Amino acid sequence: AAIDYLEALGMDNVRAHEVHITEHALRRLQEVGARIFGPLDAEVRGGAISFWYKDVHPHDLATILNEEGIAIRAGHHCSQLVMRRYGVPATARASFYVYNTDDEVDALVEALAKAGDVFGS
């Protein structure tokens, strides 16, 4: 069923949407001061964006965002050596794909502001 769904959409359309939504997310996250890990060019990355937001630990961030109805991952994502290289204990990671909208990206950014307020960042 999933393959039929993606084929019906057309993989070129799926990729175009993934690039669009990733560009939007990268732009919005940077606007609010998130530190992005990985390429800033949506053409050379997938829709998963690891980031650090101000001085809020990613686990705390995930808890606050969950209360706002926003699901992200937080942790070292099986990449402890990468975390050490960048000098962070963990990252937050939001993932976007064909089913996500610009409005959902914007809701993430609005929830980040609330988390910053809670932690005084």
C-alpha span between 17 and 34 (Å, rounded): 23
Contact 116, 61 (CB under 8 A): no
**Of the residues 78, 81, 99, 103, which is catalytic?**
78
Contact 74, 91 (CB under 8 A): yes
78 belongs to the catalytic site = yes
Cβ neighbors of 31 (< 8 A, separation 6 or more) are 109
Kindly write down the DSSP assignment for every residue of 18-67, as one continuous string: HHHHHHHHHHHHHHTTEEEES-S-GGGS-SEEEEEETTB-HHHHHHHHHH
**Catalytic (active-site) positions:** 78
